[in-house]
Amino acid sequence: MDEAPPAQLLSHRTVSGAETEPTGWVFFLHGFLGAGRNWASVARGMVRSRSDWGAVLVDLRLHGLSEGFRRPHTVANCGRDVSALVRAMDPARHVILGHSFGGKVALSSARISPAGLRQVWAIDSTPAPGRTAAGASDILALLRRLPRQFRDRRAAVHRLQEGGFDRTVAEWMATNLTRTPDGYGWRFSITDMEELLADYFRDDEWPVVEAPPPGLELIFIRAGRDSILDDRSASRLARMQRSDRRVRLVTLPGGHWLNMDNPKGLLDLLRTGLPRM
């Protein structure tokens, strides 16, 4: 059985309108090897169009500034971490939005989330167990082969590109570097990340999709190309949508990284889809 999560809270920051006090909060959960800041632009756009909602940009355990969390590193414990943060902030109503890995965490958190959870948005994410085509395993395998230290960020980007990743991915990965006495090193433990990713591949969130908590709406946004939500899972969600108004499946043009590929499409969905008072 998984251990209870530590008492410490996830690192996070809030975004809200300058003149309007939010009546609810959207908790943004990033993908594997990302950080809350990856969703800052979408969060700011959401707040501009829906000032009744504020945004909480969360760093999941082992990511960003959320360091020092105890094992086991599992999706379930990630979900417990998020629920603990929600309880600490104690919003009257809230929504959890997760991208890719963060979508599974959002679904896991929904099992135990405090009262007031209205929606879960899973952005190009799958509830199913099994490996995905997102490439996280390939990145970790490459990091195992690379030096532990780099003289500067450019050197790390160069080695990641030599390993087969394009410049955009390499520069994004370099945001995970932190200064050390000998240059720059990864802010996370590769071993811990491998443990977390292995559990992600094992984790099955179909039970919460098939029987959501009362009053909860589940919204799955599938990327039009390079989606990790495969055809079989998408068909299953489409069948559920026809029989249960609490489950929605929307396909949005763009690739897996919809926050970069199609932020306007996402913002339009959030503007119209977030609950009203």
Averaged pLDDT score across all residues of the chain: 94
**pLDDT(159) > 90:** yes
pLDDT given for residue 18 in this prediction:
77
**Percent of the residues in the chain that have a pLDDT greater than 70, as a whole number:** 97
pLDDT given for residue 4 in this prediction:
46
- Report, as an integer, the average pLDDT of 145-161: 95
57-91 pLDDT, tens per residue?
Answer: 999 999 999 999 999 999 999 999 999 999 999 99
- Report, as an integer, the average pLDDT of 197-224: 96
pLDDT range class, residue 224, cuts 50, 70, 90:
very high
pLDDT given for residue 48 in this prediction:
95
**pLDDT(104) > 80:** yes
pLDDT given for residue 275 in this prediction:
96
pLDDT given for residue 10 in this prediction:
98
User: Residue by residue, what is the 3-state secondary structure of the chain?
Assistant: CCCCCCCCCCCEEEECCCCCCCCEEEEEECCCCCCHHHHHHHHHHHHHHCCCEEEEEECCCCCCCCCCCCCCCCHHHHHHHHHHHHHHHCCCCEEEEEECHHHHHHHHHHCCCCCCEEEEEEECCCCCCCCCCCCHHHHHHHHHHCCCCECCHHHHHHHHHHCCCCHHHHHHHHCCEEEECCEEEECCCHHHHHHHHHHHHHCCCHHHHHCCCCCCEEEEEEECCCCCCCHHHHHHHHHHHHHCCCEEEEEECCCCCHHHHCHHHHHHHHHHHCCCC
**pLDDT(277) > 80:** no
2-51 pLDDT, tens per residue?
Answer: 444 446 899 999 999 877 889 999 999 999 999 999 999 999 999 999 99
pLDDT range class, residue 188, cuts 50, 70, 90:
very high
pLDDT given for residue 7 in this prediction:
62
